[in-house]
Structure 1
């Protein structure tokens, strides 16, 4: 007998019910992208069981822009990605841009399980 290739699926984010009445699923690469988005826009202290999870990017939206802030943001995002998702992705390029009440994260990474390179833009807006 031949072994059957198993397709990996994960729970979709945001959580929702599919048309069959079950938890919606996402392909592994989409699930990894969803995990990155959750990490970027979760503020530390927001998760009860993981109070140190997150980057808190939206907390810094109204901080005056400077080259030092941009460097600090990129370092903290890079550190959070490595700490929480380092087993799933390898970061190749990262750029964080803050304009008005919007933060954009330009990220190129490789999904370790598949070796697929992805270019993503994550955008978050602070409530005014």
Structure 2
């Protein structure tokens, strides 16, 4: 695996092991950044004992209607989470891809740029919008 020293290298998420070489699988560069964003968005503040403020409180939006108000709330929540916990990126915006699907997943496209290389990227985050229902 090629290491990208500019953006860093860390354990892959989810954590996995290379049994052939007896090592932890690592993620570098853009993949490390995307995994970090995924961890931030999936962590609810208060889950981590040593960092109780870490995370993004997306779960408060689970039963919201899909409208412009939801988009504004998504932008605000994701912007502040990335501003506070992912210094390698500059948040550009969010976009809701499609409407509520039968499987209850709302796909959120998160656009960002890498600060050090000034390149734009996006990440599609599956948000379980109607989690816990019979849909």
Closer, same or farther: CA 21–124 of 1 in aligned 2, 3 Å: farther
CA distance in 1 between partners of 2:106 and 2:70 (Å): 13
Counterpart in the other structure of 1:3: none
Which 5+ residue runs of structure 2 have no aligned equivalent?
A: none
Structure 2 residue 40 is matched with structure 1 residue 30: no
Give, in angstroms, the shift of residue 7 of structure 1: 4.1
Give, in angstroms, the shift of residue 26 of structure 1: 1.0
Counterpart in the other structure of 2:127: 124
Counterpart in the other structure of 1:110: 113
Q: Which runs of 4+ in 1 moved over 6 A?
A: none
Following superposition of structure 1 onto structure 2, how do residues 23-102 of structure 1 map, counting pairs within 5 Å? 23-85=24-86, 87-96=87-96, 99=100, 101-102=104-105
Which 5+ residue runs of structure 1 have no aligned equivalent?
A: 1-5
TM-score scaled by structure 1? 0.78
Closer, same or farther: CA 82–58 of 1 in aligned 2, 3 Å: same
Kindly tell me the number of residue pairs found equivalent between the two proteins: 122
Closer, same or farther: CA 53–103 of 1 in aligned 2, 3 Å: farther
Secondary structure of 2:49's partner?
coil
Deviations for 1:48-105, whole angstroms, at most 9, x for unmatched residues?
A: 11111111213421234443233122212111111111x2101223225673632322
TM-score scaled by structure 2? 0.75
